[in-house]
Amino acid sequence: MQKITCSAPGKIYLFGEHAVVYGESAICCAVDLRTQVQACLSDTVQISSVLGDTGIDHDRYPYVSSVVEKMSEITDIKGIKLCIKSDIPVGSGLGSSAAVTIATIQALNLLFECGLGAEDIATLGHSIEKKIQGVASSTDTYVSTMGGVVMVPLKKKLHIIDCGIVIGNTGKFSSTRQLVSNVAQLKKNYPKIIDPILSTIGRISLTGEKMVAKKEYESIGVLMNINQGLLDAIGVSSPELADLIYAARNAGAYSAKITGAGGGGCMVALTPLSEAEQVASAITRVGGKAIITKVTEHGVRVEH
């Protein structure tokens, strides 16, 4: 085999971002926005995407460059040409770095017949994210590998939810590393206040699990909105996110909250299927970029 294309999905959090970094429960869903990596045997290492063409380049392609280096420890990679295409906006809380990492690992794994299974791919992906971001939970890389709705850290697969999912992008870059570090500082300064907030977020995920199983979208929505209030309390919201969140709620969403690290990036709204277009238009009217999507069962896969 000389050439292979693999893709992996992005994700949204129903509940639990930030708290999951401290071992609390979270529920995350893979969504139908994918990053595609085509790998072809070559004499040198070449990486290309809309960001430009280069070789190993830890500034422009930190995740892909690290995957090539890590996989070279497992197998003999003399050269490889990697072409990346993505539907997932970068640095927006939708797991773009996990998706490109996981799709690249699987493409090299299959091309060089390394024999890595899904758990190995998720673990390797997590170690690469952790090295680059400083602190990273295993959530993004696990969900991108396995797909579906997943409760972490238990790694328990839940039923797929099939309501409308509308993402609103503020268009403002958000650094996960910076936001995780801001929360760590707040927790250090005010442990008696911040620790109970993080454990309440974990409890929201545990309570939400039963509602996800029964597809009780209105109740999931109530919990997501409470979770949003707590994310605001730990300092990861922003005026732009708040505008999109309230626009979505006022337009008929069950719920709307930050997804991912916050500080910019994206919010997510759960909606009745019939209201998704209306919620997307409301997000656009207040300056956001709206994406209507759905939860997907498909984690990393080969594209034909």
Segment interacting with ligand MEV (CB under 6 A) among 16-24, 64-72, 245-253, 295-303: 16-24
β-bridge mates for residue 12, sequence order: 29
Considering the rule CB under 6 A, would residue 126 count as an interface residue with ligand MEV? no
Considering the rule CB under 6 A, would residue 108 count as an interface residue with ligand MEV? no
Select 221 or 265, whichever has its Cβ closest to ligand MEV: 265
For residue 164, say whether it is annotated as part of any ligand binding site. Answer: no
Contact in structure between 164 and 271 (CB atoms under 8 Å)? yes
For residue 62, say whether it is annotated as part of any ligand binding site. Answer: no
Closest CB 22 distance from ligand MEV, rounded Å: 9
For residue 191, say whether it is annotated as part of any ligand binding site. Answer: no
Considering the rule CB under 6 A, would residue 24 count as an interface residue with ligand MEV? no
| Set 140, 162, 195, 243: catalytic member | 140
**Site for ligand MEV (CB under 6 A): which residue of 20, 251, 253, 279?**
20
Considering the rule CB under 6 A, would residue 176 count as an interface residue with ligand MEV? yes
Segment interacting with ligand MEV (CB under 6 A) among 134-142, 167-175, 219-227, 292-300: 134-142
For residue 94, say whether it is annotated as part of any ligand binding site. Answer: yes
What number of chain residues touch ligand MEV (CB under 6 A)?
13
User: Sign (positive/negative) of CA torsion 198, 204, 207, 211?
Assistant: negative
Q: Is residue 140 annotated as part of the catalytic site, yes or no?
A: yes
For residue 93, say whether it is annotated as part of any ligand binding site. Answer: yes
Which string of x and - marks every residue 254-293 that binds ligand MEV (by CB under 6 A)?
A: ------xx--------------------------------
For residue 98, say whether it is annotated as part of any ligand binding site. Answer: yes
Segment interacting with ligand MEV (CB under 6 A) among 131-139, 141-149, 184-192, 271-279: 131-139
For residue 124, say whether it is annotated as part of any ligand binding site. Answer: no
The 3-state secondary structure of the chain reads CCEEEEEEEEEEEEECCCHHHHCCCEEEEEEEEEEEEEEEECCCEEEEECCEEECCCCCCCHHHHHHHHHHHHHCCCCCEEEEEEECCCCCCCCCHHHHHHHHHHHHHHHHCCCCCCHHHHHHHHHHHHHHHHCCCCCHHHHHHHHCCEEEECCCEEECCCCCEEEEEECCCCCCHHHHHHHHHHHHHHCHHHHHHHHHHHHHHHHHHHHHHHCCCHHHHHHHHHHHHHHHHHCCCCCHHHHHHHHHHHHCCCCEEEEECCCCCCEEEEEECHHHHHHHHHHHHHCCCEEEEECECCCCCEECC
Segment interacting with ligand MEV (CB under 6 A) among 135-143, 219-227, 239-247, 267-275: 135-143
**Site for ligand MEV (CB under 6 A): which residue of 8, 18, 27, 151?**
18
Nearest alpha-carbon partner for 257 in 15, 92, 11, 9 = 15
- Interactions with ligand MEV, residue window 179-208 (CB under 6 A): 180
Residues with active-site annotation:
140
Interacting residues with ligand MEV (CB under 6 A): 17-18, 20-21, 93, 136-137, 139-140, 176, 180, 260-261
